[in-house]
Amino acid sequence: KNEVEQSPQNLTAQEGEFITINCSYSVGISALHWLQQHPGGGIVSLFMLSSGKKKHGRLIATINIQEKHSSLHITASHPRDSAVYICAVVDTGNQFYFGTGTSLTVIP
């Protein structure tokens, strides 16, 4: 059983499209993180959420604690957004659980 489920697994979009990646989790959490991993392997932490909504440039992340669900939105997608996006949750005992990632390809 996976504590964190992400969908879709793979996503191909045309440049400029609005993109949504979903994350559902089953444990009680203290925080949820969205990570970005580029083909070279490096990981960047995009957002940390414990409630509500955060925005950074063209990226928006939301979380609904009651429904145990989070979404990552990318507005006006660009080829440089092509990467794997990973949802990670930290439970109340400081344990981490990771989704399997969503591989996004944005075509010019």
Partner 1 sequence: DSGVTQTPKHLITATGQRVTLRCSPRSGDLSVYWYQQSLDQGLQFLIQYYNGEERAKGNILERFSAQQFPDLHSELNLSSLELGDSALYFCASSVLGTGLYGYTFGSGTRLTVV
Smallest separation (angstroms) from partner 1 to the CB of 58: 19
> Site residues (CB under 8 A) for partner 1?
29-31, 33, 35, 41-45, 48, 50, 86, 88, 90, 93-101
Smallest separation (angstroms) from partner 1 to the CB of 104: 16
Enumerate residues 6+ apart whose C-beta is below 8 A from 11.
19, 21, 102, 103, 104, 105
Considering the complex, state which of residue 95 and residue 105 has its C-beta at the smaller distance from partner 1: 95
Smallest separation (angstroms) from partner 1 to the CB of 80: 18
Which stretches does DSSP call E strand in the chain?
4-7, 10-14, 19-25, 29-37, 43-49, 52-56, 59-64, 69-74, 83-91, 96-98, 102-107
Considering the complex, state which of residue 17 and residue 65 has its C-beta at the smaller distance from partner 1: 65
Considering the complex, state which of residue 33 and residue 74 has its C-beta at the smaller distance from partner 1: 33
Question: Both tokens of residue 81?
Answer: 């957004």
